[in-house]
Amino acid sequence: MKSKEIKNTYVMPLLVLTVICLIVSAALAYMNTQTSPVIAAAAEERTEAAMSVKMPDATGFENINPDYIEGALPSSIKEIYRATNGIGYIFIAGVNGFSGEIRIICAVDPSGKIIAVSTLSHTETKGIGTIIEQDSFLSPFSGKDSNLDGIDTVSGATITTRAFIGAIEDVLKAYDLVNSQVN
């Protein structure tokens, strides 16, 4: 093969594909910088709305920086909020389920009992894993303390429900640490 044939056969198409890839990559990076703040703001709004639903009598919420808590907070604890009128705490936790991260929100009263819990987001299997969104699974957590008596995994969704229950156990451990230091 001659040099010109090699250039036309291999080099030029490779060069064109490289330029196309660079242009598309730059466009995606630009779109990401434009949409990231909007997505983050929407997620924050959903979290604030969920906090208000879980603890409707709260007059507001104060963010507690986990770095200022002495002792080992469970790694699943992502965010901690205290109701400004002292009626409890909100914990946001994230654990790995069967198909990815499960993010939960849990409201705990000053005595360490769960007020309410729900799933913020997950990527679990439709049908089976979505049990963690259903009231039949979530409602038994209300009123429970650290022993979680009567809360069991669900057959067919054992990994998902075990992860969810583990997140609640982590929340209650975190509550013990936070409540002893923040009040």
Which parts of 6-154 are beta strand (E)?
Answer: 61-64, 77-83, 89-96, 101-108, 114-121
pLDDT tens digits for range 59-88? 888 888 877 777 788 989 999 999 989 899
Number of domains in the chain: 2
90 and 160 in a common domain: yes
Q: Are residues 102 and 160 in contact, defined by beta-carbon separation less than 8 angstroms?
A: yes
99 and 79 in a common domain: yes
Q: Are residues 51 and 76 in contact, defined by beta-carbon separation less than 8 angstroms?
A: no
Segment 152-174 mean pLDDT? 87
pTM: 0.74
Q: What is the pLDDT confidence band of residue 1, given thresholds at 50, 70 and 90?
A: low
Find the domain containing 96 and state its range.
55-182
83 and 17 in a common domain: no
Tell me how far apart the alpha carbons of residues 158 and 153 are, in angstroms, rounded to a whole number: 5
35 and 61 in a common domain: no
